Structure 1
């Protein structure tokens, strides 16, 4: 009977890894899209904020998202500088906060829930990997 239940730390570890992988892959894919798609095509796809920012911003955001996505997974998976995972999540949290500010500024209220949920997931990773269940270096 006792074998049916996992210890809380194992459940937390699986949850953290699941969220890290989901967010890491998502941010990586979004970042690649921002880097390799023209600003005009991005605006046509519904990213209307791009019309209101300098031309380099979507590419810079894309690079930040790609690096952050990699940073959510790779340092923890290799156990080489695993604290970089927390820093990557913190940097992506900044990207999410900027997105919320931009959507608010443009009055695009329907777009705000997604970055709020993403921010909550990033906060979970920051909390889990920083204080509750950090990964030790090799």
Structure 2
């Protein structure tokens, strides 16, 4: 009985760590895109100076919505299944980012997108076993 409770607590801890890591990463990316001037941001992410500003702003908003959606529903237990749907959205966002970079021959920069996909998949797997 104690082992089961310890596993449940450990799993809960891991899910919250993953949720916070995803939220922090998405918040950082979203805020960077919103508040950093394009010429400075282009030194970090060269693609931003080559796309319409609407795409940059749109991805920033989607990043921030993902950060909110992955944490708040589960935190406040108000429609917690929305966090799961947000996780699927994050998978779609990361897949879109990977395709975007591969099409632009920027395949070497997709590592972080793959990392976030893996974190999201682990999170979904942990939620499935709840």
- TM-score category (smaller protein): 0.7 to 0.9
Say yes or no: does 1:7 pair with 2:6.
yes
- Distance of 2:13 and 2:77 partners within structure 1: 16
Residue 30 of structure 1 is matched in structure 2 by: 29
RMSD: 2.0
Task: Indicate yes or no: 2:40 matched with 1:41.
Answer: yes
The answer on whether the counterparts of 1:49 and 1:102 sit within 8 Å (CA) in structure 2 is no
* Structure 1 gaps, min length 5: 134-138
Q: Which runs of 5 or more residues in structure 2 are unaligned?
A: none
Residue 126 (structure 1) shift: 2.2
Q: Matched residues in 2 for 1:80 and 1:62: separation? A: 25
SS of the aligned residue for 1:7 comes to: helix
Alignment correspondent of 2:98: 100
Distance 1:29 1:114 in 2: 13
**1:136 maps to which residue?**
none
The answer to whether the 8 Å contact 1:71/1:84 transfers is yes
Moved segments of 4+, more than 3 Å: 2-7
Tell me whether 10-19 or 31-40 shows the greater mean CA deviation: 31-40
Counterpart of 1:132 in structure 2 is 129
Residues 84 and 5 of structure 1: CA distance in aligned 2, closer, same or farther (over 3 Å): closer
Q: Comparing both structures, which one devotes a greater share of its residues to helix?
A: 2
Shift, 1:29, TM fit: 1.8
CA contact (8 A) 1:39 1:58 kept: no
Match of 2:61 in 1: 63
C-alpha separation in 1, matches of 2:17 and 2:6: 17
Please say if 1:21 is aligned against 2:16: no
